[in-house]
């Protein structure tokens, strides 16, 4: 079972990386930065200056400046999955008499997620501009807890509307800022959160559907081979039933690309499903991920110098901007625009 052990190690490493990224996302001091700094100090004396400078510029460009690298990586991974599905799985499924209707669902979902992905990339998230500022200031009241009146953005030199934030990557303030997504090379804000949610759910649906079709194909391949009823002679010369583990190892050796594609789809599905449900929950309570993250470290509103300037509103409710699940979803799907009357 050496191959299964190797795959188990692969699964453990990937899951550990995913957990670490989720845990330390958005934090300044992380094990990744500490490890990078430690390694940098060790290899700095033996590394040419031009290579150090190139590495720093590359990392800065990848994670601190807008670039399309992750968009290209996204398209490459998606193309590889659909190419493998079309080249091998589709034919096997047709031999198992799977209907064309069922086999066409992943391609329909591919078209939908491509449309939502394009809208996430190209749609303006709600950039705060001097021309729209007066209308954007009237969209949301200041809660004087996370957002306070009279605060200006030092970079944009504009008053910051409630629920807005300056994105250092895009170098702009964004209305109802949620987060900056490197995969779409754009901020997620008031005007494109709906497309981002639909994109996440369509990717999950596509990954899940392709995974189900692939798993069904592998299951029928095992049934047709008769491995579950077969037996083998072990090292002691005794006859042993093949069993499920033997069948799984056979699948690894017979369909290695398909099995690894299935494992990759399972990672994508569970990771994005959790992420999509988290953002759906935020939509139901009318809260952004930026507000959720900041509220965890909030201690006292009186600590802010502007908090005493005006009478504080009632903060008995945890989510100040929530108006009920249905109205919250309506605000996400049909976001108010500057100068437009907001949902009450």
User: Token digits for 15?
Assistant: 């899951």
Q: Quote the CA–CA distance of 52 and 30 in Å, as a whole number.
A: 21
Q: Is-catalytic flag, 181? A: yes
Task: State residue 25 phi and psi, 5-degree precision.
Answer: -65, 130
188 within 8 A of 125, measured Cβ to Cβ: yes
- Measured CA to CA in angstroms, residue 306 lies from 41, 128, 232, 309 at distances of 42, 22, 77, 5
User: Token digits for 121?
Assistant: 């990339």
**Secondary element (H or E) of residue 300:** none
Task: Give the contacts of 100 (CB within 8 A, at least 6 positions apart).
Answer: none
Name which of 172, 148, 144 is nearest 161 in CA terms. 148
63 within 8 A of 180, measured Cβ to Cβ: no
Helix and strand numbers, DSSP H then E, in the chain: 12, 8
Compute how many other C-beta atoms are within 10 angstroms of the C-beta atom of residue 146: 17
User: Token digits for 237?
Assistant: 């010369």
257 within 8 A of 92, measured Cβ to Cβ: no
- The SS3 assignment for 154 reads coil
- Measured CA to CA in angstroms, residue 61 lies from 13, 66, 120, 156, 168 at distances of 26, 7, 21, 21, 12
Active-site entry in 120, 156, 181, 204: 181
User: Token digits for 225?
Assistant: 């081979």
Which residues participate in catalysis according to the annotation? 181
């Amino acid at each position: 079972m050496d191959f299964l052990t190797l795959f188990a190690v692969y699964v453990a490493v990937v899951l550990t990386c995913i957990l670490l990224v989720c845990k330390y996302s958005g934090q300044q001091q992380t094990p990744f930065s500490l490890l990078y700094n430690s390694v940098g100090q060790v290899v700095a004396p033996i590394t040419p200056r031009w290579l150090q400078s190139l590495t720093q510029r590359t990392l800065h460009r990848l994670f601190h400046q807008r670039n399309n690298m992750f968009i290209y990586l996204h398209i490459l991974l998606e193309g590889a999955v659909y190419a493998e599905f079309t080249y091998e799985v589709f034919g096997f499924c047709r031999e198992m008499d799977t209907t064309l209707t069922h086999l066409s669902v992943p391609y329909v979902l591919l078209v939908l997620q491509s449309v939502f992905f394009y809208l996430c990339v190209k749609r303006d998230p709600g950039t705060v501009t001097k021309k729209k500022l007066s209308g954007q200031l009237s969209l949301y009241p200041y809660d004087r807890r996370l957002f306070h009146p009279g605060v200006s953005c030092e970079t944009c030199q504009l008053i910051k509307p409630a629920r807005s934030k300056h994105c250092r990557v895009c170098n702009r303030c964004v209305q109802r800022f949620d987060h900056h997504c490197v995969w779409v090379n754009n901020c997620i804000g008031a005007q494109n959160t709906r497309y981002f949610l639909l994109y996440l759910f369509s990717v999950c649906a596509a990954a899940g559907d392709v995974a189900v079709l692939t798993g069904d194909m592998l299951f029928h391949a095992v049934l047709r081979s008769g491995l579950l009823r077969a037996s083998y002679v072990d090292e002691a010369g005794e006859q042993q039933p093949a069993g499920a583990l033997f069948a799984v190892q056979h699948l690894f050796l017979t369909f290695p690309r398909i099995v690894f594609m299935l494992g990759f789809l399972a990672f994508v599905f569970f990771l994005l499903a959790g992420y999509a449900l988290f953002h759906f929950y935020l939509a139901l309570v009318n809260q952004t991920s930026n507000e959720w993250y900041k509220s965890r470290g909030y201690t006292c509103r009186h600590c802010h110098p502007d908090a005493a300037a005006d009478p504080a509103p009632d903060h008995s409710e945890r989510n100040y901007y929530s108006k009920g699940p249905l109205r919250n979803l309506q605000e996400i799907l049909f976001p108010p625009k500057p100068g437009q009357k907001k949902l009450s």
